[in-house]
Structure 1
Amino acid sequence: MAVRVGILGATGAVGQRFIQLLEDHPTFELAALTASESSAGKTYKEAAKWRVNTPIPEDVAEMTVTETTPEAVPDGVDLLFSSLPSGVAADVEPGFLEEGYVVSSNSSNDRMAPDVPLTIPEVNPGHLELIEVQREERGWDGALVKNPNCSTITMVPTLAALDQFGLENVNVSTLQAVSGAGYSGVTSMEIIDNAIPHIGGEEDKMETESRKLLGDFDGAELHLHEMDVAASCNRIPTLDGHLENVFAETTEDVSPEEAAEAMREYPSVDLHSSPDQLIHVFEDPGRPQPRMDRERGDGMQISAGGIQKTADGLKYNCLAHNTIRGAAGASVLNGELLVEEGYL
């Protein structure tokens, strides 16, 4: 039986990715599209300036966009995917939750709230149990689940694979694609023949979200991982795909071969959008590369390579598609986990 879903903020860059990923999805039936007041009442093809590299699905093109209010969502919708700007989402999402909707959100607000699951299904599916704490503390029937920032989600699966060796300190420098800033986030005059060594708020997200994702939930409270994380985030002129240089210090001595094996063998999950192998490890030290490797596993696989020994641990590179695995795809995967675990 299909689960009827809606998209909050459907006309933006991530909203368009949601539509692309939900086309022909075996579980989800797209039944609602919301956007700003200026778009409400228009057909989707009139409201959205389509920029994804596949055509708008014909049935979606003719759907009517509504305002982003609970009253505007048609009956029978069980799950909402949110791609709203974080400032808007902070004001809007609670109204849907109070009305009983389950929201799988890519928006950055509330990711670090102690009662909100921040989830990568292959890494910390048990954190969904925070929903019961959330419902009790907030007094609503709905549920809010967040996926992490697009740069955090690139690195954390590789760290999860290495955590068995005792992660102590992690330093990371990112080379992030322009699509991570949205269509109008970085102008061509800023980024062509250039690199920008600062992305507002990004470093803090990587440093805090990674510790929450790898933390332990004791049934009542989530305890952050004790590792220290320091991030330097940089924008470069690639379209899609965040490449990251990671330096991980471990308590145990670990060889590059052991690290590569741990990443290759790190388990995936039996959900539609999760790749069969979560982390692909390249032997070629010149890989992964954004243009060559961002589409692996339909954009949902993590790639790693260049694993080398350091005095205190390891250094390596990792890559993921930032608008698929790092945004819309992550929310869809969380939605699949919510269905699997019976939260709808």
Structure 2
Amino acid sequence: MIKKILVTGGAGFIGSHTCVELLNQGYELVVVDNLQHSSFKSLEVIQSLTSRSICFYQIDIRDQDQLEAIFEHEHIDAVIHFAGLKVVSESIYAPLEYYENNVSGTITLLEVMKKFACKNIIFSSSASVYGDLAAVPILESAPRSTTVPYARTKLIIEDLLIDLARSDAKWNIVILRYFNPIGAHPSGDLGEDPKGLPTNLLPYVTQVASGQLKEVQVFGADYKTKDGTGVRDYIHVVDLARGHVAAIQKLAKGSRLSIYNLGTGKGSSVLDIITEMEAVVGHPIAYQLVERRAGDIAVSYADVSKAKAELHWQANFDLRRMCEDSWRWQCRHPLGFEE
């Protein structure tokens, strides 16, 4: 039975929304986060939204001694592993930092879990492991390839977990391959809080819409898509968070090794996102078409039939709702948590 869950990176965008959904389902949570790219304020908001408490440790998962002390004290039943660096473009210029943080950190975490006989883990992977080779909609069985170091760290960790499952049948492992999470909690008090200039599309669009930034740079207008801009499978972060609740229930039954796409199964272009956000905010949003960005691909969207059949989960929020919730967060917290 799974009662107490360790959430690494639980103060981040996806981690914080997942904490809300887990607490609402009655789980006890222990969050570890080094707060390098997140804010303690998000944990306060989580507790306010759920009227539940969280046990928090500000540590880096690469610190094995501190991690062992937490496992010794907290008696963890399962781990959801979000912690890691995640900026695709940054990883191209800082590959050593990404390998050391993401891969080495995961190895340390797994070693501690093994020591304390905690062998239930959900890993936060990415659709970027499919590279540019998979036919759409992308099945979990599609060949994997990588175009950037960030994605390669995810692929390496996936392989590590696959080998671990083969070596010891007591491990229960769920790998969740996210497509493109956007949106925010419907309260408007929990959302994506980029430090400095946003690197993801939606925070950039909302900051242009609010007048904080001049215009959206649209990277690439010559892809073989309906309007020339890149197409992605955008999923509401609350839907994504609820996918983790379904995955925990899978772990509790004994998942062995299971891999799932989490997306909507629909592709939307960059210009679709801008047009939808214009409808939400009620005025045009300035954008400029610029050259393609290194590591980007033309089209990526999921086949989500496996998650629907085995996890009994599917995304419920449409693109309009994703934009509405993103805009509500932007309006209520124009400077994020650090205002």
Give TM-score, length-normalised by structure 2: 0.41
Structure having the larger proportion of residues in strand: 1
**Higher-RCO chain (CA-CA 8 Å, sequence separation at least 6):** 2
Structure having the larger proportion of residues in helix: 2
